[in-house]
Amino acid sequence: KNQVEQSPQSLIILEGKNCTLQCNYTVSPFSNLRWYKQDTGRGPVSLTIMTFSENTKSNGRYTATLDADTKQSSLHITASQLSDSASYICVPQARTDKLIFGTGTRLQVFP
Amino acid sequence: EAQVTQNPRYLITVTGKKLTVTCSQNMNHEYMSWYRQDPGLGLRQIYYSMNVEVTDKGDVPEGYKVSRKEKRNFPLILESPSPNQTSLYFCASSHRQGGQPQHFGDGTRLSIL
């Protein structure tokens, strides 16, 4: 059964600090993995997409890593800003093109 | 500006009263999809459309209908809404189903009393 687990469920950090969000998945056969950012009251916005052959991809202060062998991904946020407060959703995609959405990590950045 | 527009953003209605949530995209995308988001659950796909006049069921299609008469529009229809359809709904679009980021609307919060 295709599943996605994200940890932690929620996280509070101080502005300027770094943090790492985790995603474990059991999607097979695997095609790619996406990370989305969802601000409160808004739709998800794509941060990165990585295929099974990519180990890392950056988008500004966001860096995603992927280990397709262990079926793990992480999203690292560097020098956090107040605007990073949001939910971050891990979404692996199967080769059938089906997307499996995680429940997200709720990040709060305080000044 | 590239966007997916949903209307209404908020709606409170009563059981059994038919309603339609509209979705429109201005990016000439072939693929469009509807999701619902409930607390503690990831987004779940309701229906999707690969192109005009082509629609298919997602994971939770019961109680919903869709149509794709034009490329830009993909309305979600609740013929006889029930309280278990109270949820946050998102429309999304992309050029194709796989391998590309989906662009999401800002959501429609439906409350069915």
From residue B41, how far is each of A57, A97, A100, B46 by CA, in Å?
Answer: 27, 20, 11, 14
Q: Find, in chain B, the residue whose alpha carbon is nearest to that of A102.
A: B42
> Which pLDDT value is given to residue B101?
80
Percent of chain B with pLDDT over 90: 89
The Cα angle at residue A105 between residues A48 and A70, in degrees rounded to 5: 65
How far is B11 from A43, CA to CA, in rounded Å?
Answer: 17
Task: For chain A, positions 58-97, list CB contacts with chain B under 8 A.
Answer: 89, 93, 97
Give the pLDDT band of residue B99 (cuts 50, 70, 90).
low
Judge: A97–B107 Cβ closer than 8 Å, yes or no.
Answer: no
Per-residue pLDDT of A32-62, as tens digits, reads: 999 999 999 899 999 999 998 899 999 999 9
User: Rounded to the nearest 5°, which phi and psi values hold at B76?
Assistant: -110, 125
Quickly count helices (H) and strands (E) in chain A.
Answer: 0, 10
Give the pLDDT band of residue B54 (cuts 50, 70, 90).
very high
**Chain B residues touching chain A at CB-CB below 8 Å:** 4, 35, 40-45, 90, 92, 97-107
Mean pLDDT, chain A, integer = 94
Per-residue pLDDT of B20-53, as tens digits, reads: 999 999 999 999 999 999 998 989 999 999 999 9
